Structure 1
């Protein structure tokens, strides 16, 4: 907690001009997650682009104003992945967002989510973070593979800038260079819908679509949201910002996520959540206050309404986004908590991370709890045997 928390508080001592530049750079830190999934849902699944962008814009601005820290907003990953790979109707998507929103609002408003968070062992949380970091790194490599030379150049630029010139806005520099190199090399961007100006009001779901939304989308997403978007997000924000993070509790994250999905998804937004990886990304690229989410939300508003805005972000090379995402993956997975863990906790961390990577965070969580239970019993047995001797 110590070093990162100190860095977070020192961020407020920057001059106003430098602070704005770093907040803007930090605001762009998580677009490696935000853009591929949201534009994929628009381009592949055919969602209307304006409501999707407006949903992220409203939630980002509200998040920045409420938490006053760089708390991220991301597409719900399981929902987005299933939307891109299965035949799910727009109405079933609405049903899933409303159902997830109602469940999270209940868990947060009753405080049940806080009780659940306190029961999760630290070794399991470290393993979940490592596993999610590996998942993000895997997604990053897929994006970088679309134009590997460009991806490696941008990744090298980001690494050098963050290591040798930490006061420079690394994400801004990386994004600008990626767009220049992408234009020169003809590197592929992200897909766009045939008519990016479409704005359509979705119809209400039928009973079958409520059932489809619950069985196909809600069940796999809920576990991921509770572990990564709520429990781990609160933990990572606490690591970075210490006492400043008192507002960012699992209960409040659950409530804000629930409200956003209840009120925005019915109007065409993609189901959204917070995310531990996004916190790491925003922080790593310079964000220290709620200004970063507000800036990104404002930018998304402009993109939604200014002619040609969607074409502009789709022109960002996918390989450049992958490089940004790789930095976030390393920041999330290789935490200080991982290095100071007791040797007896390493197997638990490893099992949790591997199952999270190969299956999903929910099964990783179950495997971690089971292995931690075994580890704790083994440690107690050794202590008891030592006392008997």
Structure 2
């Protein structure tokens, strides 16, 4: 049975079994990243979960669509692998939020995308995927038998056609193992305070991460998501509106202990694939995040097997790497994606982004020269 709110023939908010399963389509990459981030930095997981819960509900109700609310993967990935501290992550998120709010209000998202170049954005995605894979290997080596068991669960789910759900299954098993060690936690409301995990710190690494993230966010979270809203839901949502809402999210959530958040085409497609058709999926998922925030204690997190996190990060890295290459066409664009990714792994993502930004216009000019007919 589906319960609807609203007066339109097809409500903007429905609460049904398909909306509930659709909500899971956005959590398969969010929860592993959040737990990995909390395990490797000083971030307060309960405060982060509250941020996700609140803004899932806010944007689901506002847009009437199951929009994704997910971590800014470049920044969070860099924090997980130790390239950014939480204080630097918070500063980068505030910078990114301010820029997204400004360019969205001014209608500049499309122009920013053209300047950066899609192969550069995809290269940054590939770089973060490689860094996450490297971190996954390190975590898995801490307890190979547990990692092997986690991989076996992923493989089993994949064989029966539920590869995405395997992430939640492995996450659930890790949670059960942690609770078995610590006992069932008493629900506790997080303290409401400003910057509970530390004040933002502006560094060159934070600025480099911000620039790299903005390229990904403009392309994937604003432009690609706007296109999907039309393709999947026949709704006209502008990229500038999405940019504005992401900016508002970051500027509001981070001071209260949240992390940089964005919309995302992958999460939106995931929700659609699992059955979500309205903003009701966001409301249901938001309530779930808020409930989880009450029991996400430090003791449970400390007991969570890190080798399981390694397995989860492998899955996330593969998904991000696949997204980096799926839209790429042409050998030169492919070469640029790979080059940016490798430089990001070997040096840092900021240097990789600069390399790509310099190389992209040269690549375009060369392609235009090569396509002109001989005189």
TM over 0.5: yes
- The residue aligned with 2:34 is 34
State the TM-score, normalizing by the size of structure 1.
Answer: 0.70
**1:103 Cα offset (Å):** 3.1
**Equivalent position to 1:72, from 69, 72, 91:** 69
Tell me how many residue pairs correspond in the alignment.
Answer: 350
Distance, in Å, in 2 between the alignment partners of 1:112 and 1:259 is: 16
After superposition, the Cα gap between the structure-2 partners of 1:168 and 1:126, relative to the gap in structure 1 and judged at 3 Å, is closer
After superposition, the Cα gap between the structure-2 partners of 1:72 and 1:127, relative to the gap in structure 1 and judged at 3 Å, is same
1:130 aligns with 2:116: no
Distance, in Å, in 2 between the alignment partners of 1:148 and 1:131 is: 25
**1:104 Cα offset (Å):** 2.5
- The residue aligned with 1:299 is 288
**1:120 Cα offset (Å):** 3.7
Distance, in Å, in 2 between the alignment partners of 1:133 and 1:55 is: 25
2:374 counterpart SS class: helix
Q: Structure 2: give runs of 5+ residues left out of the alignment.
A: 1-14
Distance, in Å, in 2 between the alignment partners of 1:281 and 1:147 is: 34
Distance, in Å, in 2 between the alignment partners of 1:277 and 1:148 is: 34
**1:144 Cα offset (Å):** 2.7
* Kept in 1: contact 2:22–2:275 (CA 8 A): yes
State the TM-score, normalizing by the size of structure 2.
Answer: 0.72
1:341 counterpart SS class: coil
* Kept in 2: contact 1:130–1:353 (CA 8 A): yes
After superposition, the Cα gap between the structure-2 partners of 1:155 and 1:103, relative to the gap in structure 1 and judged at 3 Å, is same
Give CA-to-partner distance per residue, 1:123-163, whole Å, 9 cap, x none. 33333332232233223333333333222322332244234
Give CA-to-partner distance per residue, 1:2-28, whole Å, 9 cap, x none. xxxxxxxxxxxxx95365335336524
- The residue aligned with 2:193 is 201
Give CA-to-partner distance per residue, 1:201-256, whole Å, 9 cap, x none. 3489xxxx8xx744457523421331223322345546866623766654233312
* Kept in 2: contact 1:25–1:170 (CA 8 A): no
Distance, in Å, in 2 between the alignment partners of 1:182 and 1:88 is: 24
* Kept in 2: contact 1:129–1:232 (CA 8 A): no
1:347 aligns with 2:343: no
Give matches, 1:179-194, under 5 Å.
Answer: 179-180=175-176
After superposition, the Cα gap between the structure-2 partners of 1:36 and 1:277, relative to the gap in structure 1 and judged at 3 Å, is farther
RMSD between aligned alpha carbons? 4.4
- The residue aligned with 1:259 is 248
- The residue aligned with 2:297 is 310
After superposition, the Cα gap between the structure-2 partners of 1:277 and 1:364, relative to the gap in structure 1 and judged at 3 Å, is farther
- The residue aligned with 2:307 is 319
Q: Structure 1: give runs of 5+ residues left out of the alignment.
A: 1-14
Distance, in Å, in 1 between the alignment partners of 2:328 and 2:81 is: 39
After superposition, the Cα gap between the structure-2 partners of 1:107 and 1:135, relative to the gap in structure 1 and judged at 3 Å, is same
After superposition, the Cα gap between the structure-2 partners of 1:95 and 1:172, relative to the gap in structure 1 and judged at 3 Å, is closer
Distance, in Å, in 1 between the alignment partners of 2:82 and 2:98 is: 24
